[in-house]
A and B are shown apart, each in its own frame.
Chain A
């Protein structure tokens, strides 16, 4: 079955340090990939997305992600984390085929930022 894995449930980084959140997917063809961010008690906000073309995509708030087909990965990165980046991050993939299938989400990675 198709799946999205975010291996890290919780990550803590120091403010100003670099960040990488991992996302791996299981899918038989080229996926469409998304990263969303959720602040506590809020809805999800789109950070960036990859549909085709350049495998390094830029998003909002200084985030970027790189699609690596050989590793089935779409890791999210930020060179210098700010305290306001503390939130939960979700990777999503879809659609799986030409049919009508909603996005499949990973279980999320919670990011804590310390001074």
Chain B
């Protein structure tokens, strides 16, 4: 089945530790996105990528990093510089970004700080 997978479903981070959230899609989409979701805040864009080896900062990129070495993969690293990382993280993809393409979402990863 085509879709977006995110792993793990739950992730625990210790103070000062970097952690990486995985996002993989087999939809052959060019564009991929990372959002952070906090209660009452809706979805806030962290990073997005329109094509392999290219990505742009979103509204809340500080404390996060990404890479896009393969079309199907867009991992997000939550660094120790992110002081409040506890949140639900959603990955999405779309065919492209220049046209009004629908974004499709993965099931999410919940990050908790120990």
Cβ-defined contact, B42 with A101, below 8 A: no
**Does A53 sit at the interface, judged by CB under 8 A?**
no
Closest to A100 in B: B97
Please tell me if the beta carbons of A43 and B106 are within 8 angstroms of each other in the complex. Answer: yes
Q: Which residues of B contact A36 (CB under 8 A)?
A: 105
Q: How far is the CA of A101 from the CA of B50 in the complex (A)?
A: 10
Contact B98 A43 (CB under 8 A): no
- Of chain B, the residue at the smallest CB distance from A101 is B97
- Counting contact residues on chain B (CB < 8 A from A), the size range is 20 to 34
Q: Once the chains are docked, how many angstroms separate the CA of A106 from the CA of B97?
A: 19
Please tell me if the beta carbons of B42 and A102 are within 8 angstroms of each other in the complex: no
Cα distance A12–B114 when bound, in Å?
35
Q: How far is the CA of A104 from the CA of B4 in the complex (A)?
A: 20
Q: Which of A93-115 contact B (CB under 8 A)?
A: 94-95, 98-103, 105-108
Determine the chain A residues whose CB is within 8 A of the CB of B107 once the complex forms.
42-43
Whether, in the assembled complex, B53 has its beta carbon less than 8 Å from a beta carbon of chain A, the answer is: no
The yes or no answer to B45 lying at the interface (CB within 8 A) is: yes
Nearest 5 A/B pairs, CB to CB: A32-B100, A107-B42, A43-B105, A44-B105, A105-B43
* Chain B residues in 8 Å Cβ range of A32: 100
Q: Is the CB of A49 within 8 A of B102?
A: yes
Q: Does B71 make an interface contact (CB < 8 A)?
A: no
Assess the A94–B100 pair: CB atoms within 8 A: yes
Q: A9-B40, A41-B110, A107-B42 are in contact. Are A100 and B103 (CB under 8 A)?
A: no
The answer to whether A100 and B40 have CB atoms under 8 Å apart is no
Q: Considering the chains assembled together, what is the distance between the CA atoms of A106 and B31 in angstroms?
A: 21
Residues of B contacting A94 with CB < 8 Å?
100
